[in-house]
Copies of this chain bind each other. A is one copy, B any other.
Amino acid sequence: MKIAVLGTGMVGKAIGSKLVSLGHAVKLGARAAKNEKAAAWSAQCGADASHGTFAEAAAFGEIVFNCTAGSGSIDALTAAGAANLNGKILIDIANPLDFSGGMPPTLFVSNNDSLGERIQRAFPELKVVKTLNTVNADLMVNPAQLKGDHDMFVSGNDAEAKAFVKEILTRWFGWKSVIDLGDISTARGTESFLLLWLRLWGALGTFNFNVKVVR
């Protein structure tokens, strides 16, 4: 499958590398066509890996991963272009982290709105599915490394898009349990979970953890 990964940070590279390892063709998108990190990544990952602008990546991908920083996500998607995005599934991994007040960060949108909803409102024809934003980059694509079962969440308005993303999570990335929280407004829940995640990171001294919902 041809897949766009927007963002050249730890998350974008982890997702991109996993997808290439599964045999997919991945174009990593950045603000500028000549992005050093993206060039180094695609050189390292072989013939199925390429890079380009946000617009080139979005045009290339049959599906799109949003791995940009939350503060730049709307701008990145605007640069990608609605015409290159419309009708596609956007797997939105970004978190609305605000580092302007120091550590730990706060959220620049929360409680009665979410970044996932903002993206969906800005691009109504995009099938936004929020997921993977509740764990660190390495865990996203290697969930089996933790001792015991744990859960991933999905939020989105389009049932078929969510079903497809569930397949990606379980068959491609190895997630054993995926909980469908409901429409994209439920991204308020998983994005706000970051406020607990950040404190758990501080208390546990590791970000290599996740939660399991116990009934």
Interface residues of A, Cβ cutoff 8 Å to B: 101, 106-107, 110-112, 146-150, 155, 179-182, 186, 188-190, 192-193, 195-200, 202-204, 206, 208-215
Contacts and interface: CB of A to CB of B under 8 A. Distances in A.
A214 B147 contact: yes
Contacts of A204: 179, 213, 215
A162 to B, nearest CB: 12
A111 B111 contact: yes
Contacts of A106: 111-112
Contact of A203 (B182, B199, B211): B182
B107 A214 contact: no
Contacts of A189: 195-200
Most buried by B among A189, A202, A204, A212: A189
B203 A209 contact: no
Contacts of A199: 155, 181-182, 186, 188-189
Contacts of A148: 212, 214
A109 to B, nearest CB: 9
Contact of A111 (B110, B146, B149): B110
Contacts of A101: 112
Closest 4 CB pairs of A and B: A189-B196, A189-B199, A192-B195, A211-B211
Contacts of A147: 214-215
A79 to B, nearest CB: 28
